[in-house]
Amino acid sequence: MVRVSGIQSRDEGRQLRRRLQEASRFIAFVGLLVLLSVLNAQECKECSKGKVDIPISLAIGTVRTPPIRTKHKFYQISIQFQGPSALYGELRCKVGALSFDGIVSDRCRAQLLIEAKWRVLDGNRVVAQGPVEGFSSEFDFGPRSIRRYIGEFECEMHHECVVEVTFTKDGSSLNAANPRLIVSPPEAAF
């Protein structure tokens, strides 16, 4: 009798060990699924953009972005203009892009249409502000666009910040170049 019960104990031990191994595998599998879902959520293209790109008018007045749920700490503010490269010479002067030699002709200086001030709000608190005036070397030139960087700011992560740009000179003649206000982290700006 003792012998039979010993055999039963060994069989029961094996079954218990097998069940524990299966339970361990199941727990590892569930853990892997949870890890993959967390990683997938972080790679969500829409969720991680952290960028605002809106069409604007350059008429005198204020443009305000929707609240930006910050996913990064540092952001750049720029205005992008689109058009054929044949217009670059004329557009370059109007938006205040310095030429590569840094010299601004009187004719070009007279065409400048971008004058503004900007500020960034975190709730009711102003966290950054600055002027947009004169000519600047902070530009990107693409095959069909020019982008003027007008400011940069730091906002606490996971807060909602709003960017306001107030145009103080009428630049509405540039609206034909489809101006867009872009707020983005530096790595997404290009």
**Domain shared by 89 and 12, yes or no:** no
Tokens of 139: 């530009």
If one counts the domains in the chain, the total is 2
**Do residue 121 and residue 138 come from a single domain?**
yes
Query: Residue 92 class from Cβ within 10 Å (0-12 exposed, 13-18 middle, 19+ buried)?
Result: buried
Are both 61 and 21 inside the same structural domain? Answer: no
Looking at the fold, whether 8 and 19 belong to one and the same domain comes out as yes
**Spatial separation of the C-alpha atoms in residues 179 and 81, rounded to whole Å:** 5
CB 134 within 8 A of CB 81: no
Q: pTM for the whole thing?
A: 0.68
Task: Say yes or no: 39 and 67 in one domain.
Answer: no
Both 37 and 64 in one domain: the answer is no
Eight-class DSSP state of 136: B
Question: Is there a single domain that holds both residue 38 and residue 129?
Answer: no
pLDDT at 28: 67
Q: Which helix (DSSP H) or strand (DSSP E) does residue 13 occupy?
A: helix 2-42
Same domain, 64 and 149: yes
CB 138 within 8 A of CB 149: yes
Domain that holds residue 4: 1-43
pLDDT of res. 106: 77
The conformation of residue 175, written as its DSSP 8-state character, comes to: G
Find the Cα–Cα–Cα–Cα dihedral 59, 125, 54, 154, rounded to 10°.
Answer: 120
Q: Do 106 and 83 sit in the same domain of this protein?
A: yes
In which element (H, E) is residue 143 found?
none
Instruction: Indicate whether 109 and 62 sit together in one domain.
Output: yes
Residue 169 sits in a domain of what CATH number? Answer: 2.60.120.790
Residues pairing with 120 in the sheet? 128, 163
Asked if residue 63 and residue 14 are part of one domain, the reply reads: no
Residue bearing tokens 């030139």: 141
- pLDDT for 24 equals 74
Tens place of pLDDT per residue across the chain (190 aa) = 444 455 567 777 788 788 878 877 777 666 655 554 444 443 333 333 568 999 999 999 999 999 988 877 889 999 999 876 545 667 777 887 776 666 777 777 777 888 999 999 998 999 999 999 887 778 787 778 888 899 999 888 888 899 999 999 999 988 988 999 999 988 644 4
List phi, psi (to 5°) of 109: -60, -35
- Do residues 125 and 183 both lie within one domain? yes
DSSP-assigned letter for residue 72: S
